Structure 1
Amino acid sequence: MTSVDSWEFYTDSEGKWRWRRIASNGRITGASSQGYANKSDCIENARRNGYQG
């Protein structure tokens, strides 16, 4: 059985888009280092870091 990380896209306290990668055990294993004005830019950055959605 393969565990699959989940990805969360959210807005921070400044209204910027960010992502985080969460392992099957609930631990955050990656996160965006900056906020993005557009969700599409945030998703593109996540794809460069392994997001396949």
Structure 2
Amino acid sequence: MSRNGLYAVIAILLIAVVGFGIYSYQQQQARPGIEVRMDDQGISIDGNG
């Protein structure tokens, strides 16, 4: 395998690892959560899931 081919394989693997990291970070941020607010109108609970 030539050096250019080896560099191409390394670049593709690096791009795949970075892409998977970004994807998993976005999935982690999109988890459902609950927001509890207390104001002058009382207590309100909002869920985004």
- TM-score interval (norm. to shorter): under 0.3
The structure with the greater share of residues assigned to helix is 2
The structure with the greater share of residues assigned to strand is 1
- Compute the TM-score of the two structures, normalised by the length of structure 2: 0.23
Q: Tell me which of the two structures has the higher relative contact order, counting C-alpha pairs closer than 8 angstroms and 6 or more residues apart.
A: 1
**Larger Rg over CA atoms:** 2
